[in-house]
Amino acid sequence: MKLGTELGRETMKFLNIINKIINTIGVLFLLVVCLFVGGILYYLFWPSTPRQPDPVYSPSGKRVIAPTVNMSKEDMKKYLCLYIEVKETDTGNVLFAHQTDASVRMRYSFHWISDDFIKMQSSDIGDYCWREGSGGVWESAACSYEPSPTLDTP
C-alpha cells in the first residue's frame, strides 16, 4: 500500500514538471509570435507616419515656407518626398507650390535668402533655389547666395 502512494506522488511530481515545461514552451512560443506580428505591423505602418517638417518664416515674417511630406502612393517616385508651399502669413494665400524630389528620409533644410528668395538644401538631390519674379510668379533660380547653414532636419 505504501508503495502505491509513493508511486502516485512521484507520478504527480513528474506530471507537474512536464506541465511547467509545456507552459514555458507555450509562453515562449506566444512571445515569439507577438514579436513577429509586431515587427510586421511596425514595418507596414511606420513609413506612413513620418514627422512633418516645421514651417520656416521669412526675415520679415510676412511669408512662410510650409513643407509637407507627400503621402500619396499614386507616383511612387514622389512618395515620401517634400512638397513645399510659400504662403502669406496673414491671409494664408499660397504664392508658390512645388513638389520636390527631396526625400524626407534624407537630411534637408529650407531657409530664406530674402523675402522673395528661398533655398532648399537636400543631402540626396543637392541645393535648389526659387525666386519670386515679376508679377509674383515664382521660378527656379541659381543658388548664388551662399549662407551655409547646416542641414538641420533628420
pLDDT for 129 equals 96
Task: Count CB-CB contacts under 10 A for residue 106.
Answer: 15
pLDDT for 39 equals 77
Strand partners, 83: 68, 99
Mean pLDDT, the chain, integer: 85
Q: Which of 48, 129, 133, 148 is nearest to 84 (CA)?
A: 129
pLDDT for 60 equals 94
Query: Are residues 80 and 68 in contact, defined by beta-carbon separation less than 8 angstroms?
Result: no
Q: Please measure the distance between the N-terminal and C-terminal CA atoms of the chain and give it in whole angstroms.
A: 78
69-126 pLDDT, tens digit each: 998 899 999 999 999 999 999 999 999 999 999 999 899 999 999 999 999 999 999 9
Q: Kindly tell me the burial class for residue 84, based on how many C-beta atoms sit within 10 Å of its own C-beta (0-12, 13-18, 19 or more).
A: buried
Q: Which three cell numbers stand for residue 118?
A: 528661398
Question: What is each CA distance from 121 to 2, 70, 116, 145, 148, in whole angstroms?
Answer: 87, 18, 17, 13, 10
- The pTM for the full model equals 0.62
Task: Count CB-CB contacts under 10 A for residue 89.
Answer: 15
Strand partners, 129: 119, 141
Q: Distance between CA atoms of 81 and 113, rounded to whole angstroms?
A: 23
